[in-house]
Amino acid sequence: MQLTAENTAIVVDSTADFPEAPDRFPNWRVVPLYVRFGDESFRDYVELTPEQFYAVMSEAAGTDLKGWFAKTAESADELDYTEALDYYGLRFRPVDMRNARPYIGGGTRSDAGRLVITSVRRGTPGIDATVAWVAMRSPVSNTAARYENAERRKNEGMIKNNKLFFVPWETIHESNPQEILDRHETITKAPFLIMQGALDDNVLPAVQERFAQTYRDAGGDIQYELFESCEHEWVAQPGHQTNRAREMVKAFIARQVNAS
């Protein structure tokens, strides 16, 4: 089957925070997740706006949580709102990005990669959320190498973002895809397409090439494609290389779908 924009839909859930997607792209669909407060549940972005969400949480915590979330990553100390949030069947827990398993109906939200608010309910829904294949443009395949590159380039914004995100700091190594492979950890290696800009100064091509080779050596099925004269986000601009990337993704998806 020939995959086109007319017969292919791109589906994301509401935690992508992209509610305007269907208005901008006709073949995009947004599935609202359910946010639960006690016995009440609301469809995210349909029956509950971000402002209403923060209002309810702020009332429970007795403080402005929207402002608090913005400052959370700047402090390593966790504020004790657990008792107030438990009243609504919710609580804070630290995030381990490798083990995080958001699921439909769970009401999961994250801020600054540090905390998640999730419904504390027993049991898990019978949904298979296994990643069958992955197609990415300029993925962060080596978190430590990207940080070191930012230091060399004196990219203060990127340096600060890394320090805010990786708390505690050793998680930059614990969650590093390249280091996970180097440690020979037991992981599922799904078919993988990596599209990389040759002029990318965020994640360097040499770093990406090493990851691809390590993934392949570990028995993974990986397709690594270098796009000459392209920077980090070249697909944001129309052009020959953007069209090439789109066709490559469609062909990759078609192979995976047909193989299954």
27 occurs within a structural domain: no
- Same domain for 143 and 200, yes or no, is yes
- DSSP assignment of 63-109, as one string? S-HHHHHHHHTT-SSPP--HHHHHTTTEEEEE--TTT----TTS--E
Q: Looking at residue 248, which CATH number applies to its domain? A: 3.40.50.1820
pLDDT at 11: 84
State how many domains the chain has.
2
pLDDT at 28: 84
- Same domain for 177 and 112, yes or no, is no
- Same domain for 110 and 145, yes or no, is no
79 occurs within a structural domain: yes
ω into 168 cis (within 30 of 0): yes
- Same domain for 85 and 174, yes or no, is no
Q: Percent helix, strand and coil across the chain, each rounded to 5?
A: 40, 20, 45
What digits encode the pLDDT tens for the residues 102-154?
322 233 333 333 233 333 333 444 545 678 899 999 999 999 999 999 999 99
pLDDT at 90: 37
21 occurs within a structural domain: no
Select from 95, 119, 143 the last residue of a domain: 119
The Cα 126–Cα 123 span in angstroms is 9
pLDDT at 7: 75
Structure tokens at 144: 């430590």
Contacting residues for 78 by C-beta, under 8 A, at least 6 apart: 92, 115
Select from 119, 150, 168 the last residue of a domain: 119
Select from 119, 151, 186 the last residue of a domain: 119
- Same domain for 144 and 198, yes or no, is yes
pLDDT at 129: 61
Structure tokens at 223: 């397709």
Q: Which domain holds residue 234?
A: 134-259
Which residues in the chain show pLDDT less than 50? 72-125, 127
pLDDT at 123: 40
Q: Write out the E strands in the chain.
A: 10-13, 28-31, 34-37, 40-43, 90-94, 109-111, 115-119, 134-137, 192-197, 222-227
128 occurs within a structural domain: no
